[in-house]
Homo-oligomer: A and B are copies of this chain.
């Protein structure tokens, strides 16, 4: 059973009038509780020929490598979210430059968004959600130990774009 966040009464799950999707509806106070996909936003921090990755200290995918990323918060822009997550997870200060990749992941109700970023200094250090943080040349990327498919896709696009000398924007879906 679920409850209304506004009045504490039990809610029922049904399609409200004029809607097409079942929602948690409160008959006591009339509230309709919408649940929508979340944005996971991160950066691709570059230092010369290398990219920065974090090894995860939390589940899911404990011990695997990822780009710094996390849930976008209210009251921030997507670029601010990317910079904040990079600082929190990698202790790394970056300039966010361009939006680079966007992947819809409908089976977890998420959209993943990555920005290109310029790493500003080498004083990075793992935050509480990371075991270690390191810079990798393309030949050193731990492809078999990447935490999430969206991160692997983004890294492959990044190296391919760098090889052709032009960075684009890459929108895709994962199923």
Residues of A within 8 A of B (CB): 2-11, 18, 20-21, 24, 33-39, 71-80, 88, 98-99, 102, 104, 106-107, 109, 111, 128, 168-169, 171, 173
Contact = CB atoms under 8 A, between A and B. Distances in A.
Nearest to A72: B37
Main secondary structure of the interface of A (DSSP, over half): loop
A74 to B, nearest CB: 4
A5 B33 contact: yes
Given A3-B3, A8-B10, 15 more contacts: A3-B5, A5-B24, A35-B74, A36-B38, A39-B111, A72-B111, A75-B106, A75-B107, A77-B104, A77-B106, A77-B173, A78-B111, A79-B171, A99-B171, A168-B169
B73 A21 contact: yes
A174 to B, nearest CB: 9
B6 A3 contact: yes
A111 B169 CA distance: 17
A88 to B, nearest CB: 8
